Every structure is written in structure tokens, then in C-alpha cells.
């Protein structure tokens, strides 16, 4: 396998040149992968994602021209940014609802007379696939052409929308793609089945149950061959194979009979980068076979496997051999073996329920730790104790990278990874189930940094306080297209102690936090709401690869590609520490 990044793959085929003109498909799979088909009429057509639209194209010479698009206008949606076409972005002309545009005069421009708005508010026409007879598959709906123009363009009557066998099921809102034999593939996370193939008349041929959706998989081990959690959009069908991307960049390949074949690309959270690391937030791609030189065997490619328009060639699929057919009988012994394996897995990646803050430094040796195994090769454990007016936290970390961070902007220290992460509440009266931070809630990131010209890295700590009592200044706001997080204070603190000791592939880091710095009082029997974690980065501390916490397993605690989520404090997700 080899991979390389491509620029805007399809922009040389079609380019928008006027505000009211329908745009080209985006080259990456995040917006919806570009897929072309040869229809039963012998002509070529394609689908692809645009700006909040799914667009259908027909080939005219060497150009794919847009002639149809489906889209849903929802201005109350937090990520709504407009459709980029003036008339459609005018609420007076295009109120909220589900729409279908068809080009009536072959100018690739959007006139409102060409736009149909569905009266039924329950209709959400999300175009998923285009069949060889040019039937539009839109979740639980079908729309068949009523005629063809001389140029090969199909014409549809929106009032003849039909329901298909997926209507009313959870699969109507999931991923959908078609098989050359007339079957239908669906992937709907968390369902039974999640990944499935259905016959043309709606009978399930095979299925994988209860695949964990990507939101809930962020705290799970890294994705490898056979680990399907976090699976997202389809790769389509090429030869005898189909497949799906995962949110973490791994592409899973299956035989069309449902047998798992292989995984290509590494999980983006693995340490180190390279050509075989998957693009984070992978949403799909387009897998196809092509003969690049007459007389040679077909080559298999995946286009747009992620957000960067990547093109990957897959080798070795011709060596995959079908498994022998045999009967399978479920025996009590086999069921017990599977249950034991699941129990071992859950035990390995489980968390301790509470942390003990021991009475003194000496007690750190025997104090009960909390721990988190991230992927079998990376993990941490933490013990806590008091020493005078200091809180001690001893981290034992297994990581291929040392505790080093090269981010020069303190407020974005977490972007470099290799940080000890300590989050706690100093106000015992704060509601334990609060979803947003209250005064007294804080986050302390501790790492080491190497100053220019220095021979040794020195401790470096940044204290984040979302809320301060009586604060009247200007807060620091960290934002992205997904949202924002506000902090009344973000400051570098000099009096946090750090004792660091490297031991092979592991290291031990003892953090000493002055109680008066954070405004915390510790008394025997007291319960402190807190969490501890580690940010795994690359060897130089310039890029965070993964985040892992003792207690918090939410989306915000595990995502690494969005600043507001990475900086967010979620007190309701923290655990409990008991003071001895």
C-alpha cells in the first residue's frame, strides 16, 4: 500500500464561476465522496458532496456537469453556514425545509423556479446513492426518473417520491451504498445490525451487530484489524470487496459476502506520523478498480479517505482467498469462551471507581492508584497524597514519547500533547452534577519544555480557570466552527514542582501543587471532585495524538482535533477522591 495527498481532485473538471451556480463536489470524503457510475443507458453520472448539499452530475465530454442537488435548510442548526447561493440563503425565498433542485435549462445555475420544497415536514431527502437505472436512494425514500432529455439528463417528479424497505427503520438515517448485484449496504452505528447487506427486496443477507458509534468510541483502544468501533462512511464497492472508513483513519475492508478481509492505514492516535497514518475524522472514501495500462491487472485505489483528498493504492487484494464453507454450531463451550474473552477485555480497559489522597508522601508507595490502559502499549496510573500544604500526584506513564512539549502559546499547550492533566473542584459546595464549570473549577497542565539553547528540559505548568468569583475583566475565548470556550484566567505558574524520572519506555512524574495556588483545603474524610489524565503526543511535543482520562470518557475528553472541545472542563464527568 502507498498513499499520497492530492489537491482538489475534481476542481479541474468543474468549477463554480458565478454566485448562483452549483458548485463542484469537494475532493475529500468529509463532505461526501465523489463517485461515478456507468448507468444502464451507457452514460456516466456521479454523486458528490458540496456545501451542505449532495449533488448529482452527468458527464458531458470530459466535464461532469451538476444537474440535481438535495439539501436541507435549517438555520437554527449551530453549524449552519448557508448554502452559498444567494436565493437559497434568502429566508423569504427558501424557508427551512427539505429541497430538490433540478437544472431545467442546462446552465448549471440555480433559479428558484427549478427548486422544489417538500411540503411534508417529515421528509428529509438525504441523497445516499444513485443506482444504474438512475433511481435516487435517499435514506428511506426512492425517486425514479420519469423521462430523459436528449443530453441524457434524467428528470424527476418530486411528487412521486416512494418509500423503500428501510423507511421507518433506524437504517433510513444511516450510511447507504449499493452493490452491483442489486443489493443494498447500510451502516447505522449502535443498531442490530449496524453494518449489513440487504437483498433488493429487503431481506438481510448478513450483518454485524452493535458497532459502537464514533462519539462513544473516543475513549476505546486504538482501531486495528477487526476492531470496528468508530466506523463511519462507506468506501463503496470494487471488485469483490466493499469497506468502511473509521473516524480514526483506519479503512476496514470486507468481502462482499460479509467476511472481514483487512484493515489499511494506522489509527491517527498512534504515536508518530507517516504515510500510513489515517486522516483523523475519516468519514468515508471511494474505492475503485482501474486498468492503468492495457494488458495489466486492475489496480485498486481509495480516493478521499479522510479530509485531505488522499489517494491510496491498495496492494494484495488479489491474494485474499475465500474461507472454506462449513457449518457453525453454537455450543455452550464456545459461548463461555466468548464471554470470558469479553470479560477480560472489559477488565483490561476498565477504570477504578475512586482515588485515595493518602496522608503523606511515604504513603504514595502503598496508596490505591487509579489507572487507564489506552491501547495496551500506552497507559498511566496515578497515586495521590498530601505533604504539608501541597497536593502530590505521582504519575506512572507508559508512552513512546517522553514528557516534552514544544507549544510556545501557553493557552494552547494541550495541542502539543505529552502533558499531565489535572482537573479538580476547589469549592466543595459546587453541585456535583453541574455540566459547566463553576468558580473554583480548574485545570492544570504540567509538562517539560526545552528553551532555545538549553541542554535540559525544564518543568512548565499552565493553570486554566474558566470562572473566577467577581471577575470583571475580558476573558480568553478559544473557538472553532464547532463552538467556543471562555476562560477568566489562563496563566503560566512557576511554583508547581515536578520530579521526572525516565525508566525505559516508561516514566514517573511527581507533581507537587501548592494548595494556596489553587485555593484548595484538604481535611481527612473530605471528598474532592476531580479527574486525572494524560495527553499523548509525538516525540517532539508538537502534535497531540490522543487524550485519556481516569473518569471522563465523553466526546470532549477524547477528541483531539477541535480547540473548544480540547479545552473544555466537564465537572459532571469527574470522579471522586477521598482524603485520608
Q: What is the CATH number of the domain that holds 478?
A: 2.60.40.1190
Domain that holds residue 386: 353-579
* pTM passes above 0.85: no
Say whether both 502 and 571 belong to one domain: yes
The C-alpha cell 492495457 sits at 294
92-120 tens-digit pLDDT: 999 999 999 999 999 999 999 999 999 98
Count of the separate structural domains present in the chain:
3
Say whether both 114 and 195 belong to one domain: no
* Cell, residue 456: 535540559
Say whether both 426 and 283 belong to one domain: no
Say whether both 379 and 429 belong to one domain: yes
The answer to whether 153 and 169 are in contact (CB under 8 A) is: no
Adjacency order of strands within the sheet including 141-143: 129-130, 136-138, 141-143, 162-163
Of 105, 132, 164, the residue at which a domain comes to its end is 164
Of 405, 376, 354, 388, residue with least CA distance to 509: 405
Taking each continuous run of H as one helix and of E as one strand, the counts in the chain are 4, 39
Say whether both 392 and 525 belong to one domain: yes
pLDDT value of residue 349: 52
The answer to whether 196 and 207 are in contact (CB under 8 A) is: yes
Say whether both 374 and 491 belong to one domain: yes
Say whether both 148 and 196 belong to one domain: no
* Cell, residue 465: 480557570
The C-alpha cell 473518569 sits at 551
Whether residue 176 is contained in a domain is answered as: no
Whether residue 358 is contained in a domain is answered as: yes
- Phi, psi of 13, rounded to the nearest 5 degrees: -90, -40
- How far apart CA 212 and CA 218 sit, in angstroms, is 10
Say whether both 110 and 226 belong to one domain: no
Say whether both 404 and 289 belong to one domain: no
- How far apart CA 218 and CA 222 sit, in angstroms, is 9
- How far apart CA 513 and CA 22 sit, in angstroms, is 58
pLDDT value of residue 314: 92
Work out the burial of residue 114: count CB atoms within 10 Å of its CB; fewer than 13 is exposed, 13-18 middle, 19 or more buried: middle
pLDDT value of residue 463: 98
pLDDT value of residue 218: 82
Whether residue 153 is contained in a domain is answered as: yes
Cβ partners under 8 Å of residue 358, min gap 6: 364, 366, 367, 383, 384, 385, 386, 580
214-264 tens-digit pLDDT: 888 887 888 989 999 999 989 999 999 999 999 888 999 999 999 999 998
- How far apart CA 574 and CA 570 sit, in angstroms, is 7
Work out the burial of residue 364: count CB atoms within 10 Å of its CB; fewer than 13 is exposed, 13-18 middle, 19 or more buried: middle
Of 303, 536, 565, 569, residue with least CA distance to 442: 569
The answer to whether 258 and 244 are in contact (CB under 8 A) is: no
Whether residue 2 is contained in a domain is answered as: no
Strands (E), 341-481: 354-358, 370-373, 379-387, 390-398, 419-425, 441-449, 458-465, 476-480
Say whether both 263 and 114 belong to one domain: no
Whether residue 173 is contained in a domain is answered as: no
Of 164, 192, 222, the residue at which a domain comes to its end is 164
In the predicted model, residues of the chain with pLDDT beneath 70 are 1-14, 29-31, 271-275, 279-280, 305-308, 345-353
Whether residue 177 is contained in a domain is answered as: no
* Cell, residue 351: 477504570
Q: Is the dihedral of CA 90, 93, 96, 99 positive or negative?
A: negative
Cβ partners under 8 Å of residue 234, min gap 6: 175, 176, 177, 185, 187, 242, 243, 244, 245, 284
Q: Please report which helix (H) or strand (E) contains residue 238, including its range.
A: strand 231-238
The answer to whether 130 and 70 are in contact (CB under 8 A) is: no
Whether residue 326 is contained in a domain is answered as: no
Say whether both 413 and 284 belong to one domain: no
471-526 tens-digit pLDDT: 999 999 998 878 899 999 999 999 999 999 998 779 999 999 999 999 999 999 99
pLDDT value of residue 338: 83
pLDDT value of residue 163: 93
- Rounded mean pLDDT of the chain? 89
- How far apart CA 473 and CA 499 sit, in angstroms, is 35
Q: Is the peptide bond before 310 cis (omega within 30 degrees of 0)?
A: no
Whether residue 338 is contained in a domain is answered as: no
Q: What is the DSSP letter of 368?
A: P
Of 111, 133, 164, the residue at which a domain comes to its end is 164
Residue 302 to residues 24, 137, 296, 537, Cα–Cα distance (Å): 20, 23, 19, 28
Say whether both 249 and 371 belong to one domain: no
Amino acid at each position: 500500500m502507498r498513499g499520497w495527498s492530492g489537491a482538489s481532485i475534481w476542481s479541474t473538471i468543474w468549477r463554480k464561476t458565478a454566485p448562483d451556480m452549483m458548485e463542484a463536489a469537494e475532493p475529500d470524503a468529509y463532505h461526501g465522496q465523489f463517485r461515478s457510475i456507468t448507468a444502464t443507458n451507457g452514460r456516466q453520472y456521479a454523486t458528490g458532496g458540496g456545501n451542505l448539499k449532495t449533488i448529482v452530475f452527468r458527464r458531458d465530454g470530459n466535464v461532469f456537469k451538476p444537474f440535481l442537488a438535495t439539501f436541507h435548510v435549517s438555520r437554527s442548526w449551530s453549524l449552519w453556514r448557508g448554502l452559498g447561493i444567494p436565493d437559497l440563503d434568502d429566508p423569504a425565498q427558501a424557508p427551512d425545509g427539505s429541497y430538490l433542485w433540478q437544472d431545467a435549462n442546462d446552465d448549471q445555475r440555480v433559479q428558484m423556479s427549478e427548486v422544489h420544497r417538500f411540503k411534508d415536514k417529515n421528509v428529509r431527502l438525504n441523497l445516499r446513492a444513485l443506482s444504474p437505472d438512475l433511481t435516487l436512494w435517499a435514506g428511506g425514500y426512492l425517486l425514479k426518473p420519469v423521462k430523459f432529455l436528449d443530453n441524457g439528463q434524467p428528470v424527476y417528479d418530486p411528487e412521486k417520491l416512494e418509500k423503500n424497505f428501510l423507511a421507518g427503520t433506524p437504517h433510513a438515517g444511516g450510511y447507504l451504498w449499493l452493490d452491483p448485484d442489486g443489493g443494498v449496504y447500510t451502516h447505522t452505528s449502535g443498531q442490530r445490525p449496524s453494518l449489513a447487506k440487504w437483498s433488493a427486496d429487503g431481506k438481510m443477507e448478513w450483518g454485524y451487530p452493535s458497532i459502537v458509534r464514533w462519539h462513544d468510541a473516543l475513549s476505546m483502544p486504538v482501531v486495528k484489524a477487526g476492531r470496528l468501533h468508530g466506523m463511519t462512511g462507506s468506501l463503496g464497492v470494487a471488485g469483490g470487496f466493499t469497506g468502511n472508513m473509521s473516524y480514526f483513519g483506519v479503512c476496514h475492508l470486507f468481502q462482499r459476502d460479509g467476511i472481514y478481509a483487512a484493515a489499511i492505514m494506522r489509527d491517527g492516535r498512534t504515536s508518530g506520523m507517516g504515510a500510513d497514518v489515517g486522516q483523523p475524522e475519516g468519514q468515508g472514501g471511494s474505492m475503485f478498480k482501474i486498468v492503468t495500462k492495457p494488458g495489466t491487472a486492475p489496480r485498486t485505489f481509495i480516493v478521499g479517505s479522510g479530509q485531505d483528498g488522499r489517494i491510496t493504492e491498495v496492494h494484495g487484494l488479489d491474494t485474499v482467498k475465500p474461507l472454506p464453507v462449513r457449518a457453525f454450531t453454537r455450543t455452550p463451550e464456545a459461548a463461555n469462551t466468548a464471554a470470558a474473552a469479553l470479560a477480560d477485555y472489559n477488565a483490561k480497559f476498565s477504570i477504578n471507581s475512586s482515588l485515595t489522597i493518602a496522608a503523606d508522601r511515604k504513603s504514595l508507595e502503598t496508596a490505591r492508584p487509579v489507572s487507564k490502559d489506552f491501547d495496551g502499549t500506552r497507559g498511566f496510573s496515578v497515586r495521590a497524597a498530601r505533604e504539608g500544604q501541597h497536593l502530590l500526584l505521582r504519575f506512572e506513564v507508559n508512552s513512546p514519547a517522553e514528557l516534552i512539549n514544544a507549544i510556545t502559546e501557553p493557552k494552547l499547550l494541550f495541542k502539543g500533547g505529552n502533558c499531565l492533566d489535572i482537573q479538580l473542584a476547589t469549592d466543595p459546595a459546587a453541585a456535583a452534577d453541574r455540566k459547566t464549570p463553576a468558580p473554583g473549577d480548574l485545570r492544570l497542565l504540567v509538562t517539560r519544555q526545552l528553551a532555545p539553547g538549553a541542554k535540559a528540559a525544564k518543568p512548565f505548568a499552565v493553570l486554566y480557570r474558566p470562572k473566577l468569583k467577581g471577575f470583571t475583566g475580558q476573558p480568553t475565548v478559544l473557538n472553532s466552527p464547532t463552538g467556543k470556550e471562555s476562560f477568566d484566567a489562563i496563566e503560566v505558574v512557576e511554583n508547581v514542582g515536578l520530579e521526572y524520572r525516565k525508566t525505559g519506555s516508561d516514566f514517573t512524574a511527581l507533581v507537587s501543587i501548592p494548595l494556596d495556588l489553587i485555593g484548595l483545603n484538604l481535611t481527612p474524610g473530605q471528598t474532592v471532585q476531580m479527574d486525572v489524565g494524560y495527553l499523548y503526543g509525538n516525540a517532539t511535543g508538537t502534535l497531540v495524538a490522543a487524550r485519556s482520562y481516569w473518569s471522563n470518557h465523553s466526546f470532549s475528553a477524547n477528541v483531539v482535533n477541535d480547540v473548544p472541545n480540547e479545552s473544555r472542563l466537564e465537572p459532571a464527568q469527574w470522579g471522586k477522591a477521598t482524603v485520608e
